[in-house]
């Protein structure tokens, strides 16, 4: 049984930082390309960042470039999203997603991913 589980969300003031984590059980973690997505109320889900299975390739959405950093520790079967300089507009439910792919690239489209977590809420107050 595949389970993708996010953690680390919470309430933070603007300018602060949070680190999200994601684990994927039931799958071989280093077979997976991973991504972070977010969805704010009344808005469509958008891509935040993605990372290849080895960590050698990453991509970021324009709104988070220079503030967020994606990383992974395959030995710990864990994906991270370090979020710095948070803004109120970063407020959203953040989702972790996975797809089996050992290519040297990652996908920024949600439609490429097969496995999803339930999400973790990030709220940034002004």
Residue 89: pLDDT band by 50, 70, 90 thresholds? very high
Helix (H) or strand (E) holding 92: strand 92-100
**Cα gap 45→119, rounded to integer Å:** 12
pLDDT, tens digit, for every residue of 18-62? 999 999 999 999 999 999 999 999 999 999 999 999 999 999 999
**Which residues 6+ apart lie within 8 Å of 67 measured at CB?**
83, 84, 85, 86
- Rounded to 5°, the CA angle 122-40-84 comes to 40
Compute CA 125 distance to the chain's CA centroid, rounded to the nearest angstrom. Answer: 21
């Amino acid at each position: 049984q595949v389970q993708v589980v996010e953690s680390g969300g919470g309430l933070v003031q603007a300018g602060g930082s949070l680190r999200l984590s994601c684990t994927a059980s039931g799958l071989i973690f280093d077979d997976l390309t991973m991504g972070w997505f977010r969805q704010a109320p009344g808005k469509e889900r958008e891509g935040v960042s993605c990372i290849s299975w080895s960590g050698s390739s990453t991509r970021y959405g324009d709104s988070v470039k220079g503030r967020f950093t994606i990383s992974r520790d395959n030995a710990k079967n864990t994906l991270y999203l370090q979020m710095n300089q948070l803004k109120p507009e970063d407020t959203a439910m953040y989702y972790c997603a996975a797809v089996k792919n050992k290519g040297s690239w990652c996908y920024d489209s949600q439609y490429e991913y097969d496995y999803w977590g339930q999400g973790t809420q990030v709220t940034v107050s002004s």
